[in-house]
C-alpha cells in the first residue's frame, strides 16, 4: 500500500495547484522524494509500513504543501511564460520562412545568375575586361560586365550589397553614363531582389568608344568610374 498512499497524498497536494501543467511535474518530484525517504528509513532498519508513515508525516499536511506550491506557480505568470515561449517559436518559424527564400535568392544572385548571359554573344562588339568595384556609402557596387552590342546599346551589369548585408541602405538606381564627348546617358533596366542584388541597365544609341565613365552624383555619395572597353572578335 506504500505506493498507493504516496500517490493519494500527491494527488491531494496537486488539487491545490491551479496551474494544471505544473501538476504532473510536482507529483513526480513529490513521489520521488517520498520513495527516497522511505527507502532510507528502511535501510536504517524501519519496517516498510512504518517507513512509509514516517515519510508521509515528515512531508506535512497535503493542503499546506499544495497551497505553497500553488504560490510558486501563479497561473497568470505561468501562462504568460508559456505564451511568450509559443510566440518566440512562432516568430522564429516566421523569420526562417521569410529569410530562407532571401538567402536562396542571394546565393543564386551571387554565385550563379549573370544578367549579361541574356545578351547573345554574337551581338557583342565591345566589352570590359574585368570587374570594377566602388564603395558608395555603406553599399558596395561591383560592375561585373559592360558590353556594347551591334545596335549601339550599352549594357552595364551590377552586383550590389550592403556592408554588412543586413544593414538598411539608401536606394541605388544605377549610374549615369558619359561617353568620350561628355554626353550623359540615362538608362533603365531590371534587377533581382535579395541581399546581393544584380541588375542590368541599358543605354540606347551609345556611340562606339574605347571607354565609358559611370557617374553617381548624389550629394555625399559621389562616385566616378572609368572603364576601358575592348573590341570583341566574333
Nearby residues of 46 by Cβ (< 8 Å), 6 or more positions away: 54
* pLDDT score, position 225: 86
Q: pLDDT tens, 134-180?
A: 887 777 888 888 889 988 888 888 887 777 665 555 566 677 888 77
Confidence of residue 53 (pLDDT cuts 50, 70, 90): confident
The pLDDT confidence band at residue 1, using thresholds 50, 70 and 90, is very low
The predicted model gives 86-99 an average pLDDT of 79
Confirm if 174 and 148 have CB atoms less than 8 A apart. no
Q: Which residues of 77-100 are buried (b: 16+ CB within 10 A; e: fewer)?
A: ebeeeeeeeeeeeeeeeeeeeeee
**CATH classification of 119-231, choosing from 2.60.290.11, 3.40.50.150, 2.60.40.1640, 3.30.70.141?**
2.60.40.1640
By C-alpha distance, which of 179, 175, 174 is closest to 210? 179
- Domain ranges within the chain, ordered by starting residue: 2-73, 119-231
pTM of the shown model? 0.49
Amino acid at each position: 500500500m506504500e505506493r498507493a498512499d504516496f500517490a493519494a497524498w500527491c494527488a491531494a497536494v496537486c488539487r491545490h495547484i491551479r496551474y494544471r501543467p505544473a501538476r504532473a511535474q510536482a507529483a513526480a518530484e513529490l513521489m520521488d522524494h517520498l520513495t527516497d525517504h522511505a527507502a532510507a528509513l528502511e535501510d536504517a532498519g524501519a519496517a516498510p509500513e512504518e517507513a512509509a508513515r514516517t515519510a508521509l508525516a515528515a512531508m506535512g499536511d497535503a493542503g499546506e504543501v499544495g497551497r505553497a506550491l500553488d504560490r510558486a506557480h501563479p497561473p497568470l505568470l505561468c501562462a504568460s511564460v508559456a505564451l511568450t515561449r509559443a510566440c518566440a517559436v512562432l516568430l522564429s518559424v516566421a523569420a526562417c520562412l521569410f529569410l530562407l527564400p532571401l538567402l536562396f535568392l542571394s546565393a543564386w544572385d551571387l554565385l550563379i545568375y549573370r544578367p549579361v548571359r541574356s545578351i547573345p554573344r554574337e551581338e557583342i562588339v565591345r566589352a570590359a575586361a574585368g570587374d570594377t568595384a566602388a564603395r558608395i556609402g555603406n553599399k558596395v557596387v561591383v560592375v561585373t560586365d559592360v558590353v556594347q552590342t551591334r545596335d549601339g546599346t550599352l549594357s552595364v551589369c551590377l552586383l550590389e550589397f550592403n556592408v554588412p548585408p543586413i544593414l538598411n541602405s539608401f536606394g541605388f538606381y544605377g549610374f549615369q553614363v558619359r561617353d568620350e564627348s561628355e554626353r550623359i546617358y540615362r538608362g533603365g533596366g531590371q534587377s533581382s531582389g535579395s541581399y546581393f542584388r544584380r541588375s542590368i541597365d541599358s543605354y540606347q544609341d551609345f556611340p562606339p568608344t574605347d571607354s565609358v565613365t559611370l557617374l553617381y552624383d548624389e550629394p555625399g555619395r559621389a562616385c566616378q568610374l572609368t572603364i576601358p572597353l575592348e573590341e570583341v572578335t566574333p
